[in-house]
Structure 1
Amino acid sequence: PIFPGDAHQAIAAYYNPTLVPTQITIRDLGTGEEISRASSLERIDSLRFSPGGRSFQASVSIPGVVASRIRSWDTFTGQPLGPAIEFDGS
């Protein structure tokens, strides 16, 4: 899968080692459609999870559905949470 379970954990752990995502939604912001399987997509617009009542969102670009670049920010304040991180999403 493009986003194995440990990839979700890695995104959360990057910002807080004790953070565990309580809700994960992959959504196409262009159509508003919620995506459960994304193996055929070239670009996923957002990955959202709400740990501890705070809401975060990551934009994901997947060129060739191999490498993913993730930028996260606090959706309440709009402030970036950290630098972009990259991982192999194949």
Structure 2
Amino acid sequence: MFRIIAKAALLGVAGLVAVPVVVFFGVLILGYAFDPRCGTPGDSGGCEMGAATSAIASVIPGFMLFFFVSLLLSLRRKKREEQPPQEPS
């Protein structure tokens, strides 16, 4: 059981890094695509700050998403391995 939780925690840390990176670039790309004022000389950096705020806000959900999905898949796999094979009738 410790191995399953350790593996889930390790994948959670991967999600802690991966999800904010994807969110940051996704928000930045959408901001530049739909707002022509983003990145212009008169822009105060609001588009970039929106992307940074979204990335920071997605750190904990990214960890939880990867942790729980990994945990559930590992537990399902373990349960499937523990069941005895069914005899043909």
- TM score, norm. by length of structure 1: 0.23
Whichever structure has more strand as a proportion of its residues is 1
Whichever structure has more helix as a proportion of its residues is 2
Q: Which has the higher contact order (CA 8 A, sep 6+)?
A: 2
- TM score, norm. by length of structure 2: 0.23
Q: Which has the larger radius of gyration?
A: 2
